[in-house]
Structure 1
Amino acid sequence: MARIDELAFTPTPMGELTLRRRFDPVAERDVFEVKLGDEFLMSSLFTAAEEELARLGLEAAAGPGPLSVVVGGLGLAYTAVTALDDDRVATLRVIDALPAVIDWHERRLLPTSDRLLDDGRASLVEADFFAVMRAAPGEHPALPEPVDAILLDVDHTPQHTLHPSHADLYTVEGFTRLARHLRPGGVFALWSDEPPHPETMAALTQVFARVDGHTVEFPNPLTGGTSTNGVYVACRER
């Protein structure tokens, strides 16, 4: 029988949030999973696209740095720790609305927690990322000034959000508000569970000077084939 250890369980406004660890006989290693209610949100078995979110986003941030970076959505922290691999990153602020998720890392329950907490460039901020983006630059204490890059990994896709209140970001008006929090030449990168969607690409193109949609393929040991996610990269005019 497969061993499953429930590491943390917390009721939230969006449903019951569970962090669990299980041994995967196919991958032959422990796998960490997050569920919201009966829905799987993320798994350490599939991290390639989250890591590519950081790499592709920061590759588009031209220049030697130093870079000020915001990650929207902490989760298992693979986006955040991959961003820390870039030596140009001077500060990394990770914004998450769920104190339980921040607590998992502060208790060092995840394989990425030590790397994240022990790097003096990183800080964890409890706040609603979407509310921060609605605020004027410098108005919200979670983001006191514009930054060089914003990397977002919260919703399944722009068309399939975890909460209805998130949907206004993925519009021309929402992307315009977000762009105000970027310095000239700054980069917004967005993870999606699906390859880039024409509607989202069109909305981004109305706001940003350059927009690229990337399809990220990665091996899926559960199916024996490959799976795909999407990463949008949008650059503000200099």
Structure 2
Amino acid sequence: MIARFEELDWQPTPMGDLTLRRRSEPAVGEEIYEVKLGDEYLMSSLFTVAEEELANLGLAAVEGDELSVLVGGLGLGYTAVAALRDERVRALVVIDRLGAVIDWHERMLLPASAELVGDARTTLIEDDFFAVMRAAPARGRGPYSAILLDVDHSPRHQLDPSHADLYAAAGLRALDRHLVAGGVFALWSDDPPDDRFTIELNAVFDDTAAHVVGFDNPVTGGVSSNTVYVARSRG
């Protein structure tokens, strides 16, 4: 008999207990992968459309070739792999605060791991993305053609209170230093478009847009949605 749930990894972290599990999902008739941090569900392979659209929409707004892309938040790897499928990308750096998540991919535990780790353009770094953005650009890191961020639930609902400053104008200006002139910042959010955050985004960037990404939800039988914000650096 196949177990309904299989725990693939469990590790304590400063942000809570991190769990990777695989389970069967009768609604779709296949196995899915889920990540929990403490009691919170962070992500599921059942819902990847918006994570992939974070890369697709973000990179569609970038002009030129030979792109250098930074992804904040590795997770199940779907944003990073979607970015690699853009043939203009010459280098992809992924920063994740949790070394365990990087380890999962290096051990090939997830469906996207082989495509991600096996691509010579990929570099995985264990670090605090938010601290990296606050600091001046380091030699050999950037500037980037695009920064794609998927860590918190939304600009208002952070996994860690220390992340909150990035979503205000001052934090966005610090992030902007890591982009090339005309580079693109894109952000995934689980919430509907947020007018207050859009004001902060408009204070720093040009050509801002909030894309509502809908996708079928086999669990509810309806349609769910996330938001992808896209904005261009003024340089």
TM range (shorter): over 0.9
The alpha carbon displacement at 1:62 in A equals 1.2
Look up the equivalent residue of 1:184 and give its one-letter code.
Answer: A
The alpha carbon displacement at 1:37 in A equals 1.0
2:204 paired with 1:207: yes
Q: Which aligned pairs between 1:161-180 and structure 2 lie closer than 5 A?
A: 161-180=158-177
The alpha carbon displacement at 1:237 in A equals 2.1
The residue that corresponds to 1:47 in the other structure is 48
CA contact (8 A) 1:214 1:232 kept: yes
For residue 76 of structure 1, give the secondary structure of its aligned residue in structure 2. Answer: coil
The residue that corresponds to 1:160 in the other structure is 157
Moved over 4 A (4+): none
Tell me, in whole angstroms, the C-alpha distance in 2 between the residues paired with 1:27 and 1:15: 30
Tell me, in whole angstroms, the C-alpha distance in 2 between the residues paired with 1:149 and 1:204: 15
The alpha carbon displacement at 1:145 in A equals 2.7
CA contact (8 A) 1:153 1:191 kept: yes
The residue that corresponds to 1:112 in the other structure is 112
The alpha carbon displacement at 1:195 in A equals 2.0
CA contact (8 A) 2:10 2:17 kept: yes
Tell me, in whole angstroms, the C-alpha distance in 1 between the residues paired with 2:114 and 2:223: 30
Look up the equivalent residue of 1:34 and give its one-letter code.
Answer: V
For residue 202 of structure 1, give the secondary structure of its aligned residue in structure 2. Answer: helix
The alpha carbon displacement at 1:2 in A equals 6.2
Tell me, in whole angstroms, the C-alpha distance in 2 between the residues paired with 1:34 and 1:165: 21
Tell me, in whole angstroms, the C-alpha distance in 1 between the residues paired with 2:229 and 2:204: 13
The alpha carbon displacement at 1:211 in A equals 0.4
CA contact (8 A) 1:195 1:231 kept: no
Tell me, in whole angstroms, the C-alpha distance in 1 between the residues paired with 2:181 and 2:231: 12
For residue 227 of structure 2, give the secondary structure of its aligned residue in structure 1. Answer: strand
Tell me, in whole angstroms, the C-alpha distance in 2 between the residues paired with 1:60 and 1:145: 18
CA contact (8 A) 1:155 1:161 kept: yes
The alpha carbon displacement at 1:91 in A equals 0.1
Look up the equivalent residue of 1:129 and give its one-letter code.
Answer: F
2:143 paired with 1:146: yes
- Deviation digits for residues 34-69 of structure 1, max 9, x if unmatched? 001111110000000000000000000012x10000
The residue that corresponds to 1:182 in the other structure is 179
Look up the equivalent residue of 2:158 and give its one-letter code.
Answer: T
In structure 1, stretches of 5+ residues that fail to align are: none
Q: Which aligned pairs between 1:79-118 and structure 2 lie closer than 5 A?
A: 79-118=79-118
Cα root mean square deviation, aligned: 1.1
For residue 46 of structure 2, give the secondary structure of its aligned residue in structure 1. Answer: coil
Look up the equivalent residue of 1:113 and give its one-letter code.
Answer: S
Tell me, in whole angstroms, the C-alpha distance in 1 between the residues paired with 2:170 and 2:219: 39
The alpha carbon displacement at 1:138 in A equals 2.1
State TM-score, norm by structure 1.
0.96
Corresponding pairs, count: 234
CA contact (8 A) 2:68 2:142 kept: no
Tell me, in whole angstroms, the C-alpha distance in 2 between the residues paired with 1:170 and 1:33: 27
CA contact (8 A) 1:81 1:115 kept: yes
For residue 150 of structure 1, give the secondary structure of its aligned residue in structure 2. Answer: strand
